[in-house]
């Protein structure tokens, strides 16, 4: 088992999201690896938590990474429509894309699920998208 590909996966996902034109049209450059101290207004995207499991055996090393990307609205009143549209763009940005990793090789990336909910007494919205990546260590 190696967690070494975690940083490489995060960097590749972040770059892919920042380079996706449809997502940029919806959120501009409000795509964060680390959220700013003060939450931005409008719809924004944040890389979230990750759960990693070993998939290695006696012949090869590998890992399975389940990670979350959150799409959120600020307290400026953006509804679920705007947040869900940006969530669709996030999913589209990562669908069938051969991400190039600086460590390891991406064997597969798939969407697992999404959860939409209201936050902050109903004033803000959030969609958490969960993806699974399979990485082979070369």
Q: pLDDT (tens digit, 0 to 9) for every residue of the chain, 138 residues total? A: 568 899 999 999 999 999 999 999 999 999 999 887 877 888 999 999 999 998 877 777 899 999 999 999 976 767 889 999 999 999 999 998 889 999 999 999 999 999 999 886 777 899 999 999 999 987
What's the whole-model pTM score? 0.91
Q: Nearest 5°: CA angle at 53, between 47 and 58?
A: 140
Number of domains in the chain: 1
CB neighbour list of residue 58: distance below 8 Å, 6 or more residues apart: none
pLDDT of residue 132: 97
For residue 73, the enclosing domain spans: 5-137
CATH of residue 53: 3.30.2000.30
**What are 53's two structure tokens?**
């499991």
Residue 78 CB neighbours (<10 A) = 19
Cα 115 to its chain centre, rounded Å, is: 13
């Amino acid at each position: 088992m190696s967690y070494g590909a975690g940083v490489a996966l995060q960097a590749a996902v972040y770059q892919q999201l920042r380079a996706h034109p449809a997502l940029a049209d919806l959120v501009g450059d409000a795509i964060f690896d680390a959220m700013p101290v003060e939450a931005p207004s409008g719809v924004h995207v944040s890389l979230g938590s990750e759960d990693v499991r070993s998939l290695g055996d006696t012949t090869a090393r590998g890992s399975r990474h389940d990670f979350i990307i959150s799409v959120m609205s600020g307290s400026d009143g953006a509804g679920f429509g705007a947040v869900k549209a940006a969530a669709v763009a996030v999913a589209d940005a990562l669908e069938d894309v051969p991400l190039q990793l600086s460590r390891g090789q991406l064997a597969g990336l798939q969407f697992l699920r999404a959860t939409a909910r209201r936050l902050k007494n109903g004033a803000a919205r959030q969609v958490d998208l969960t993806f699974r990546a399979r990485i082979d260590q070369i």
